[in-house]
Structure 1
Amino acid sequence: MENVNSNKYRNDEFYGSRNENIASSISYLSVFFAPVLLPIVMWIIADKPVSIHARKALFNHILTWVCFTLAPLALMLSASVMGNASTNTESWIVFGSWTIAVVLVVVGVYLFIKNIIRGIKLLLV
């Protein structure tokens, strides 16, 4: 088993002490309990390595929730157009809105999982 403290896994510009890594990890894993509030507080209060991770976590949390908010809106557009779809153009709008909704959900799930992975990586370094 490789040593996690080797230079392959650690870049001192982004990783700090053990306590800073735990604080940074909490800002990523806050997607479960305080998605926006905790990263904002840590970004304002914390020092350099923690504030960098808190900023990244904040933008990831915001983008995740934007994706999960816009996907149902795209499906609502699809449902409203489908109610009176009589032309070929309207069927393309339905197809496009479903495609956009699926892409937004996939991106949202990707960002959610990425936050979890980053939080766990910081706990292991």
Structure 2
Amino acid sequence: MRQLLSALSYFSIFFAPFIFPIIVWIASRDPYVAMHSKRALISHILPFIAAVPLLILTFGANHPGSVLGYILLFVIIYFGSFIYNIVKGIQVLRDYA
């Protein structure tokens, strides 16, 4: 059960990116599950934290090429976080299989 909850914290990027890891983190008494749900929450929040400076830089940019560069950088960060969550969810499931 602990592997399933830990993996679902990572896979929640598909259905409830912030809510599910927070609920599991608060409700879990198992340190293993709490650790993975906290990591999943951080990896879900990271792209949006990275978006704040990119938005500030985008509004201050005078050249359309730099705006496109900032958007491309956000897409790379978000896609990397998305892949990370999928890989970590599979790894957690395979740990005890």
In the superposition, the TM-score normalised over structure 1's length comes to 0.64
Aligned to 2:91: 121
**Shift of residue 96, structure 1, vs aligned partner:** 2.2
Judged with a 3 Å threshold, the aligned counterparts in structure 2 of structure 1 residues 31 and 68 are, in CA distance, closer, same or farther, namely farther
Does 1:49 find its partner at 2:32? yes
Query: Matched residues in 1 for 2:10 and 2:43: separation?
Result: 9
1:68-124 CA distances to partner (integer Å, 9 max, x unpaired)? 966x957x749xx7xxxxxxxx33xx3222211111110110001100110011111
Matched letter for residue 116 of structure 1: I
Aligned to 2:68: 98
Query: Matched residues in 1 for 2:72 and 2:50: separation?
Result: 10
Aligned to 1:35: 17
1:11-34 CA distances to partner (integer Å, 9 max, x unpaired)? xxxxxxxx2111100100011111
The number of residue pairs the alignment matches comes to 94
What CA RMSD, in Å, does the superposition of the two structures yield over aligned residues?
2.7
Query: Matched residues in 2 for 1:60 and 1:68: separation?
Result: 11
Query: Matched residues in 1 for 2:23 and 2:51: separation?
Result: 24
1:15-70 CA distances to partner (integer Å, 9 max, x unpaired)? xxxx2111100100011111111100111111201001101101111123x17966
Aligned to 2:80: 110
Identity of aligned residues (%): 32
| Aligned partner of residue 12 in structure 2, secondary structure | helix
Unmatched 5+ stretches in structure 1: 1-18, 82-89
